Amino acid sequence: MSQLPTIRSRKLEIEYNIPISKTKKFWDGLREGKIYGTRCKKCSKLYFPPVADCGECYSSEMDWVELSGEGELITFTHIVVRPTSFLNEQPYTIAIAELREGVKALAWLTGVKRKDIKIGMKVKLAPKITGDGRVTYEFKPL
Amino acid sequence: MRVEAACATGSAAIFSAYTAVSSGYVDLALAIGVEKMREVDTSTAIELMGRAGSYLWEFENFGLTFPGYYALYATAYMNRYGATEEDLALVAVKNHRYGAMNPLAQFQKEITVEDVLSSHVIAWPLKLYDCSPITDGSAAVVLASEDKVKELKIDTPVWIGGIASSSGTGTLSYRNDFIGLDAAVKASRIAYKMAGVEVKDVDVAEVHDCFTIAELLAYEDLGFCSRGEGYKMVREGQTEIGGEKPVNIDGGLKAKGHPIGATGVSMIVELTKQLREEVKPRSRQAPMKNYVGLAHNIGGTGHYAFITILKR
């Protein structure tokens, strides 16, 4: 931090609601144990994370599609220096995998020792409800 | 006017100033880049910057940080091409060597490969010395029309020959691969064409080495070498003074420092000095053959890319 003279600010804490009206089905799906993507009705392009509008053909006609979650690891990192809002977590592994359906997903990878993580390993994306009640999803080794 | 393009903000300011001057709307413009980052601790800085990525899908859900973004590229790149953590370290060693010769650099100290490898892990495989620092800094550039340059009797003007920007997906998982930044490839091809120069004409380059892997990706995205050959350029010393293509010989973001909004402007300041052959100390002056310099400034992880080509 700066060695120059400073005065201390007030403490700022921000918490807010994140709008999900266009992806509500996705968040509801997680609670039901399902991973949903969206597919453009017009050009058939599949999206994960889901989108409400197709960036390929600009159509807003999308179908919800349940994904297998099964995929292959493309890359990963272990986050050691964490943001303030993640300081309560132990260092975590973030991975990107290509799912069987041809889309990629990014999430934490858990349930595997660091030294056993290899690019190309089979993983499965699964919904998760955290201890503090957050609905999310993570990779597990398959 | 105020512009914002994450770590490419400085270039966005220059781009705006350039379009204002070249369109004839104004004949003189001042592009200023400034950032003050060192009043917060590291985890707060990581928090605030991390939120500038794909907020909901990557930060809110998974706490992905900027070192983490580039670490994902580093893992994929090393796995694909056989580059090693030592190769990444060589980028930091080179840039610290030039930083040690730059009185305006934040770090004016040489380091060794061993220093890099033994520094603590930030986002594996990136370690402390693979990362650019948190920096306070500023830079400014004056842009003028040809008529104004004549009127002011500027004796050694440096011209913007080409300038281009392109963007990439906000969410990383929508990208095809993690071995290069499409936005940088696209912007550079437009800028080369606009400037009427080829890769071989570039005498000196400033590239966005926010992390060591980013410099290797830049060599390849800019066409300095083929895909997968970037780590060989640094191994062979091709990007040092005396090599084929001197890169970041002011210390780069790595050692000069990376005051987010100022970085892009600072690159143009350095290239201007290089093209005018007025760099001090002289040992940090790149040899000029064509008097062409290139600046590569990335916002986010290729969310934005700006390429500026200067000529004398």
Q: Report pLDDT digits (tens) over B283-294.
A: 999 999 999 999
Q: Determine whether the interchain pair B62/A77 forms a contact, defined as Cβ–Cβ distance below 8 Å.
A: no
Q: Supply the pLDDT for residue B270.
A: 98
Could you tell me the two tokens for B124?
């594996």
pLDDT at residue A13 is higher than 90: no
Q: What are phi and psi of B212, to 5 degrees?
A: -55, -40
**B208 among known catalytic residues:** no
Is the preceding omega at residue B103 within 30 degrees of 0, hence cis? no
Among A67, A99, A125, the domain boundary falls at A67
d(CA B60, CA A106): 12
Side chain identity at residue B237, one-letter code = G
Could you tell me the two tokens for B256?
């000069």
Q: Determine whether the interchain pair A76/B75 forms a contact, defined as Cβ–Cβ distance below 8 Å.
A: yes
Q: Supply the pLDDT for residue A139.
A: 98
Could you tell me the two tokens for B109?
């100290």
pLDDT classification of B209: cutoffs 50, 70, 90 = very high
Cβ–Cβ contact A105 with B under 8 A = yes
pLDDT classification of B2: cutoffs 50, 70, 90 = very high
Q: Determine whether the interchain pair A80/B120 forms a contact, defined as Cβ–Cβ distance below 8 Å.
A: yes
Q: What is the mean pLDDT of residues B150-179?
A: 96
Note whether residue A15 is domain-resident.
no
Radius of gyration of chain B from its Cα atoms, rounded to whole angstroms: 18
Taking a C-beta distance cutoff of 8 angstroms, is the pair B259, B133 a contact? no
pLDDT at residue B200 is higher than 90: yes
Q: Percentage of chain B surpassing pLDDT 70?
A: 100
pLDDT at residue A102 is higher than 90: yes
For β-strands B137-144 and B159-167, DSSP reports them as unpaired
Note whether residue A13 is domain-resident.
no
Q: Report pLDDT digits (tens) over B25-34.
A: 999 999 999 9
Residues A63, A73 within the same domain: no
Minimum distance, in Å, between the CA of residue A124 and any CA atom of chain B? 16
Which residues of B touch chain A, with CB atoms under 8 Å apart? Answer: 38-44, 46-47, 50, 56-65, 67-68, 71-76, 79, 120-126, 136, 171-175, 178
**B225 among known catalytic residues:** no
Strand, coil or helix: B262: coil
Residues A45, A58 within the same domain: yes
H-helix or E-strand spanning residue B275: helix B263-275
Q: What is the mean pLDDT of residues A80-88?
A: 95
| CATH code, domain carrying B102 | 3.40.47.10
Q: Supply the pLDDT for residue A3.
A: 83
pLDDT classification of B61: cutoffs 50, 70, 90 = very high
Q: Determine whether the interchain pair B122/A78 forms a contact, defined as Cβ–Cβ distance below 8 Å.
A: no
Residues A40, A99 within the same domain: no
Q: What are phi and psi of B176, to 5 degrees?
A: -75, -40
Note whether residue A5 is domain-resident.
no
pLDDT at residue A12 is higher than 90: no
Note whether residue B151 is domain-resident.
yes
Q: Number of structural domains, chain B?
A: 1
Q: Supply the pLDDT for residue B97.
A: 98
Domain that includes residue A45, residue range: 20-67
The burial class, CB within 10 Å (0-12 / 13-18 / 19+), for A31 is exposed
Note whether residue B193 is domain-resident.
yes
Taking a C-beta distance cutoff of 8 angstroms, is the pair B307, B295 a contact? yes
Note whether residue A76 is domain-resident.
yes
Q: Report pLDDT digits (tens) over B33-57.
A: 999 999 999 999 999 999 888 999 9
Residues A79, A137 within the same domain: yes
Note whether residue A3 is domain-resident.
no
Residues A36, A63 within the same domain: yes
Domain that includes residue B153, residue range: 9-311
Note whether residue A122 is domain-resident.
yes
Q: Tell me which residue has tokens 């990557």.
A: B58
Q: CA B200 from chain center: how many Å?
A: 19
Residues A121, A85 within the same domain: yes
Q: Calculate the average pLDDT of chain B.
A: 97
Q: Report pLDDT digits (tens) over B226-247.
A: 999 999 999 999 999 999 999 9
Q: Report pLDDT digits (tens) over B66-115.
A: 999 999 999 999 999 999 999 999 999 999 999 999 999 999 999 999 99
Q: What are phi and psi of B276, to 5 degrees?
A: -85, 0
Residues A75, A57 within the same domain: no
Q: Supply the pLDDT for residue B52.
A: 86
Note whether residue A134 is domain-resident.
yes
Taking a C-beta distance cutoff of 8 angstroms, is the pair B66, B49 a contact? yes
Note whether residue A32 is domain-resident.
yes
Q: What is the mean pLDDT of residues A38-64?
A: 97
Lowest-confidence range among A9-13, A45-49, B32-36, B125-129?
Answer: A9-13
Residues A50, A119 within the same domain: no
Note whether residue B218 is domain-resident.
yes
Note whether residue B210 is domain-resident.
yes
Q: Supply the pLDDT for residue B53.
A: 86
Note whether residue B4 is domain-resident.
no
Note whether residue B2 is domain-resident.
no
pLDDT at residue A2 is higher than 90: no
Note whether residue B3 is domain-resident.
no
H-helix or E-strand spanning residue B176: none
Q: Number of structural domains, chain A?
A: 2
3-state helix, strand, coil in chain A (%, to 5): 10, 35, 50
Nearest to A96 among B39, B56, B173 (CB): B173
Residues A59, A73 within the same domain: no
3-state helix, strand, coil in chain B (%, to 5): 40, 20, 40
